[in-house]
Amino acid sequence: MEFCDECGSMMHSQEGVWVCGSCGFEKARDADSEADMVTTEGQDTDSGPVDMSEVDDAEIGPTTTVNCPNCGHDRARYEMKQIRAADESETRFFTCVECDHKWREDDH
């Protein structure tokens, strides 16, 4: 990956030179420095869905003490995701270990 010396945008390769898509700046490619670059070309980036059918529920994520609004059980698996702006808290997603009911909690 190469970045433009003029505006800082990411450049792309075109006919032996690096070209900035934002400002048009061009610079020659350097085979020695490119040898150290890492690319995703040829890598398997999507190996398909993961089969979780034979994984014990106890092995899927951490659990916490929280009451399920559906069945009242007191344990649930949880995960936290940043779905709003970065300066706001994460949203907690729960799945009851008893009835598989799913719900979420946000800080208000």
pLDDT of amino acid 36 = 75
Enter the pTM of the model.
0.45
- The verdict on residue 47 lying in a domain is no
Nearest of 34, 31, 5, 39 to residue 19 by alpha carbon: 5
Identify the domain containing residue 6 by its residue range: 2-34
CATH classification at residue 89: 2.20.25.10
pLDDT of amino acid 75 = 92
1-55 pLDDT per residue, tens: 788 888 988 888 888 899 998 899 998 888 777 777 776 666 666 667 766 667 6
Residue list for the binding site? 4, 7, 20, 23, 68, 71, 96, 99
How is residue 6 written in tokens?
């003029």
Strand ranges for the chain from DSSP E: 2-3, 10-14, 17-20, 26-28, 63-65, 75-81, 91-96, 102-105
Report the chain's terminal Cα–Cα distance, integer Å: 41
pLDDT of amino acid 71 = 94
Q: Within this chain, do residues 63 and 97 fall inside the same structural domain, yes or no?
A: yes
Residue list for the binding site for Zn(2+)? 4, 7, 20, 23, 68, 71, 96, 99
47-103 pLDDT per residue, tens: 677 666 676 665 677 889 999 999 999 999 888 888 777 777 788 889 998 998 999
Q: Within this chain, do residues 61 and 98 fall inside the same structural domain, yes or no?
A: yes
- The verdict on residue 90 lying in a domain is yes
Say yes or no to pLDDT of 108 above 60: no
